[in-house]
Structure 1
């Protein structure tokens, strides 16, 4: 469960109020629920966040440092919730969204639509380079992609961690192997994407680092084409683990040399503002991904939290 939003809210509320009961009243939950969240975090990392003095809880030095590190993030969340509470005031407008993969962007859009059903959404799905160009050219207002450059052009926020996996038909023996060595993939016909695909660039780099030079049986320029080739037993393809919700005739197989997870980002031009763009950045916290995402690893008094 790690350092999740619910645990941080509980710890910070206890820090500010001094007791589980007062923190529970502030959060609108039961006292045992608050106590359990705090104790789970202490047990998981084998730390003490509070010293007990009767009914009063005194924050330890580590807890005070954790509060300082997380309170800014919690303030941003409070601001986001204040914006989201204005949803009834949004009676129109259009938000243009660019997606590299159908997922996780579609789930984020579904959450946004539930919050703001009167806002029209235009969606462009394309390759990594096409969507980045769409943001730069302001053809789209906000986008969801992996490998967004960390430079002054973009405002970006990680929304999910995922990795590139091999994809094959479930009838392949490969489907039951987890993980598979990248060298073993050379024994199968390979379905590659064109190089403007972020997944393909990750695959190319992994083969190169392994000293391998694969020759693909098929090269296709779209993700849907790759998935159809795999579903029709034409070979082994590659894609982001959560890039599609499709499960029919598709098995996902972890690759030993590519097990590291990489962030997918919500991003826009650095100077691109406006209420709808702001709301999309914040809406993912209200989505199923929002509760699944832990805080980045924080170093507090020598401990690595959230790693």
Structure 2
């Protein structure tokens, strides 16, 4: 087994094809194909299934990719450590967030300190964010629906209660608070089944013997708020995630607050990556102030 063979395999897996991998590594496609073929032949394994000019990782290929992720990330860290400049001037940092509102101040502070680092922000639910972190498709996650785990480094961000929201002209818009029983009698706009907001509300409703009925079920926070703003029903959101540009009325939910806790997370094995460490340090500094 040679380094060039592992590098070829890793790049093909990450690029999704031999041609793209060859372009990324500035080699010819036959050269890339030859390195992967030799690796498979040497160990009598099949790393890619090849059908109709499409490739996909086999089970063995998936296991090897998990290892090469760590291998080449460690290589990047070693290169950074040995670099002449210890200041982070260039690079990329990928964030995956269930809601970017919780990290806006950290993003701003990080940009001030490291203007040369390009930030990419994507959104998703807990399942997709964790999968992206494990596959190295994201560097840092922003979410709250994950119990402490040895595989991840956690930095708490904030906690905010779930509130009900309604259009300004909705009959309930003037109410300061509503019970779950009252909400159950109103048309509700609810997030998709995988939503943490929905799960917390349903847990509280079950505890109090209330059955919530949804007039509209919609995927995504922004789509749900748009529908609420149209007057179609009452929706729910974390108080920290509601901007003031929709003119929605905020209505407290009676009883003990249903708190949405958010945290920054990254794979523990990647916490010394220069860009990741810098972002986490900025976040720690903000939380200490």
Same fold (TM over 0.5): yes
Residue 162 of structure 1 and its aligned partner are, at CA, apart by 1.1
The higher radius of gyration belongs to 2
Deviations 1:56-103 (A, max 9, x none): xxxxxxxxxxxxxxxxxxxxxxxxxxxxxxx99221100000110131
Separation in structure 2 between the aligned mates of residue 153 and residue 170 of structure 1, nearest angstrom: 45
Identify if the C-alpha distance between structure 1 residues 97 and 116 changes in structure 2 by more than 3 Å, giving closer, same or farther.
Answer: same
The residue number in structure 2 matching 1:211 is: 209
RCO (CA 8 Å, sep 6+): is it higher in 1 or 2? 1
Q: Flag structure 1 segments of 5+ consecutive residues without an equivalent.
A: 1-86, 292-307
In 2, are the aligned partners of 1:148 and 1:156 still within 8 Å (CA)? no
2:253 is the alignment partner of 1:284: no
The residue number in structure 1 matching 2:170 is: 172
The residue number in structure 1 matching 2:151 is: 153
Deviations 1:2-47 (A, max 9, x none): xxxxxxxxxxxxxxxxxxxxxxxxxxxxxxxxxxxxxxxxxxxxxx
In 2, are the aligned partners of 1:88 and 1:116 still within 8 Å (CA)? no
Identify if the C-alpha distance between structure 1 residues 247 and 210 changes in structure 2 by more than 3 Å, giving closer, same or farther.
Answer: farther
| Aligned partner of residue 241 in structure 2, secondary structure | coil
Residue 232 of structure 1 and its aligned partner are, at CA, apart by 0.6
Deviations 1:243-270 (A, max 9, x none): 2434322222221135153421111112
Moved runs in structure 1, 4+ residues, more than 4 A? none
In 2, are the aligned partners of 1:129 and 1:197 still within 8 Å (CA)? no
In 2, are the aligned partners of 1:142 and 1:267 still within 8 Å (CA)? yes
Identify if the C-alpha distance between structure 1 residues 124 and 89 changes in structure 2 by more than 3 Å, giving closer, same or farther.
Answer: same
TM-score w.r.t. length of structure 1: 0.62
Q: Flag structure 2 segments of 5+ consecutive residues without an equivalent.
A: 1-84
Q: Following superposition of structure 1 onto structure 2, how do residues 249-260 of structure 1 map, counting pairs within 5 Å?
A: 249-260=247-258
Residue 119 of structure 1 and its aligned partner are, at CA, apart by 0.4
The residue number in structure 1 matching 2:117 is: 119
Residue 202 of structure 1 and its aligned partner are, at CA, apart by 1.0
In 2, are the aligned partners of 1:206 and 1:258 still within 8 Å (CA)? no
The residue number in structure 2 matching 1:261 is: 259
In 2, are the aligned partners of 1:127 and 1:222 still within 8 Å (CA)? no
Residue 190 of structure 1 and its aligned partner are, at CA, apart by 0.4
The residue number in structure 1 matching 2:222 is: 224
The residue number in structure 2 matching 1:275 is: 274
Separation in structure 2 between the aligned mates of residue 254 and residue 168 of structure 1, nearest angstrom: 11
Residue 286 of structure 1 and its aligned partner are, at CA, apart by 4.4
Matched pairs, number: 204
Worse overlay, 254-263 or 178-187: 254-263
Identify if the C-alpha distance between structure 1 residues 184 and 88 changes in structure 2 by more than 3 Å, giving closer, same or farther.
Answer: farther
Identify if the C-alpha distance between structure 1 residues 290 and 242 changes in structure 2 by more than 3 Å, giving closer, same or farther.
Answer: farther
The residue number in structure 2 matching 1:144 is: 142
The residue number in structure 1 matching 2:69 is: none
**Root-mean-square deviation over aligned CA pairs:** 2.1
